[in-house]
């Protein structure tokens, strides 16, 4: 069993740490600089961060063993995803656990801004009682514009409908049919020009940096209010201050900033009608526990089984699909690995066929699993779910995936076909009891075998005594046979022997030289 080394560089709950300790050796070290992280990472297989630790290209330069970076939270702008991808490192986040908490904080900011709660509180603490100075506005019947209708934006939109607001939203990836009930999809300019309250919930990326700049803030309805609880940098802070100073906007509430922590002399802190909080969007007991547990379980699943949940730079599998899809990921990976080990030659093409109840939504993830399994035994250097497709393209390997309605003896079936040096071979498998992967076909041989190494595969004469000679030869070299599966086709027999320990070179040579053995292959 591999001993995994896991570095936790930011806060994680005690329950999350315990899950990770059951998976490997855990080191907690908060507040690491870029140099400290760079020096530490070469000895770790997994890194867990929240928003404080910055994972830069330079910090990853020596991380030759790092397989996965887990962001306990949603935004990954503190991680250089491109640099991680180039090194074949999986990046994953936890988009579910903090969505409600962050959405609720946005609604809290909206209400605090509409009713001027922060300013009224500060006034009372100065010994004042100025009711008329803090007249607010009702939100009922007002138009709420939601910019970005992902998980958090959907939470805010649904709460807005519940508060009897007229909710409009802008998101190029969401159709009207997919929008929450009571939400009308509009273009960005219409949203800005019609909304009394605008709330921002898009990720930070080059296309969204300063999405709300001076021009777009100027298009907002005069007297409107802005809530920003997404990521710093999406709103141009100087342009926002200008709009508040001249009265174009009646108010704003920010939980995130272009540079955090916010400097004490920052202009925002001197701007009127502004509510600020120190990046509290995911700061609830429930969310902190939820993201810790989710991330710890995802890291453990990735390290132990190679299954990536909520991947950023690999095809995404939601945790709700893991029970169904996970065993097929293992199976497809193992089938492809098995196939290219028992048949020699350069890999020219790979085809994956899905049949029955194997979900088509997982086709991309299953294709990557096939490529990872096959190419790991054909290419130098690490092959991971992150770089498998790119490596296939670089080596001009044709890749195809399809779903088939052909009738077979199994409810669910996956088949991997490979062309190696112009020779086509295929291997099929299924999952028994949602857990146990089985190989049920290898070329023309029907069988029930476990497609995992260490194993010995033989094509041999279909006559009495061959299996006994085989077992004797292995026994002389202290190689124990854990499981045997035999199949016959056209007078030739196929043997698949799962072994308790890997074959030594001497043991393999002894087996291959037996008179009844036509071909022998070792599977690792």
Catalytic residues: 231, 260, 279
Residue 50 to residue 375: CA distance in whole angstroms:
33
Please count the residues of the chain.
524
Q: Which helix (H) or strand (E) is 510 found in, with range?
A: helix 505-512
For helices 319-342 and 363-375, what crossing angle results, to 10°? 30
Q: Pseudo-torsion of CA 284, 287, 293, 294, nearest 10°?
A: -160
In angstroms, the CA 497 to CA 484 distance is: 5
Host H or E run for residue 122 = helix 117-125
Other residues' Cβ atoms within 10 Å of the Cβ of residue 496? 25
Q: Which pairing describes strands 274-276 and 249-254: parallel, antiparallel, or unpaired? A: parallel
* φ, ψ dihedrals at 226, nearest 5°: -120, 135
Closest to 195 measured CA to CA, from 216, 220, 170, 171 = 220
Q: Which residues of 43-70 are buried (b: 16+ CB within 10 A; e: fewer)?
A: ebbbbbbbbebbbeeebbeebeebbbbb
| DSSP output for 49-106 | E-SSS-B-TGGGTT-TT--EEEESSS--TTB-HHHHHHTT-EEEE-TTTTHHHHHHHH
């Amino acid at each position: 069993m591999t001993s995994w080394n896991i570095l936790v560089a930011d806060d994680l709950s005690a329950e999350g740490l315990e899950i990770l300790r059951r998976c490997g050796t855990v080191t907690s070290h908060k507040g690491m600089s870029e140099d400290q992280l760079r020096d530490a990472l070469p000895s770790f297989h997994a890194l867990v961060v929240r928003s404080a630790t910055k994972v830069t290209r330079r910090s990853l330069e020596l991380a030759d063993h790092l397989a996965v970076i887990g962001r306990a939270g949603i935004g990954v702008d503190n991680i250089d995803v491109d640099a991680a991808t180039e090194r074949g490192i999986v990046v994953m986040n936890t988009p579910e656990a903090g969505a409600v908490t962050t959405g609720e904080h946005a609604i809290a900011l909206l209400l605090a801004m509409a009713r001027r709660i922060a300013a009224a509180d500060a006034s009372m603490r100065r010994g004042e009682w100025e009711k008329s100075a803090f007249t607010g506005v009702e939100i009922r019947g007002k138009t709420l514009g939601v910019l970005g209708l992902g998980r958090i934006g959907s939470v805010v939109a649904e709460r807005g409908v519940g508060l009897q607001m007229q909710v409009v939203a802008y998101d190029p990836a969401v159709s009207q049919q997919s929008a929450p009930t009571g939400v009308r999809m509009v273009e960005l300019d219409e949203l800005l020009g019609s909304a009394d309250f605008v709330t921002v919930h898009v990720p930070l990326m080059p296309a969204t940096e300063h999405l709300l700049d001076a021009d777009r803030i100027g298009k907002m309805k005069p007297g409107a209010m802005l809530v920003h609880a997404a990521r710093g940098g999406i709103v141009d802070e100087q342009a926002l201050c200008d709009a508040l100073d001249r009265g174009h906007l009646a108010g704003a509430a920010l939980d995130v900033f272009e540079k955090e922590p916010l400097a004490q002399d920052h202009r925002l802190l001197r701007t009127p009608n502004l509510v600020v909080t120190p990046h509290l969007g995911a700061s609830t007991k429930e969310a902190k526990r939820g993201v810790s547990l989710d991330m710890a379980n995802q890291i453990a699943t990735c390290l132990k089984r190679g299954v990536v949940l909520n991947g950023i730079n690999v095809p995404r599998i939601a945790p709700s699909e893991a029970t169904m899809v996970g065993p097929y990921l293992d199976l497809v990976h193992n089938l492809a690995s098995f196939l290219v080990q028992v048949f020699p030659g350069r890999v020219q093409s790979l085809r994956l066929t899905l049949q029955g109840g194997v979900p088509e939504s997982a086709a991309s993830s299953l294709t990557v699993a096939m490529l990872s399994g096959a190419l790991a035994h054909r290419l130098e250097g690490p092959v991971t779910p992150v770089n498998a497709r790119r490596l296939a393209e670089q080596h001009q390997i044709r890749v195809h995936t399809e779903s088939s309605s052909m009738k077979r003896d199994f409810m669910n079936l996956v088949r991997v076909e490979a062309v190696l040096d112009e020779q086509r071979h295929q291997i099929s498998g299924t999952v028994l009891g949602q857990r146990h992967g089985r190989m049920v076909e290898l070329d023309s041989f029907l069988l029930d075998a476990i497609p995992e190494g260490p194993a010995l595969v033989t094509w041999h004469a279909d006559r009495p005594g061959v299996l006994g000679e085989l077992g004797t030869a292995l026994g002389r070299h202290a190689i124990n046979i854990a499981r045997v599966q035999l199949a016959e086709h056209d007078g030739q027999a196929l043997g698949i022997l799962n072994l308790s320990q890997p074959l030594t070179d001497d043991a393999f040579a002894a087996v291959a030289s037996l008179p009844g053995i036509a071909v022998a292959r070792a599977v690792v």
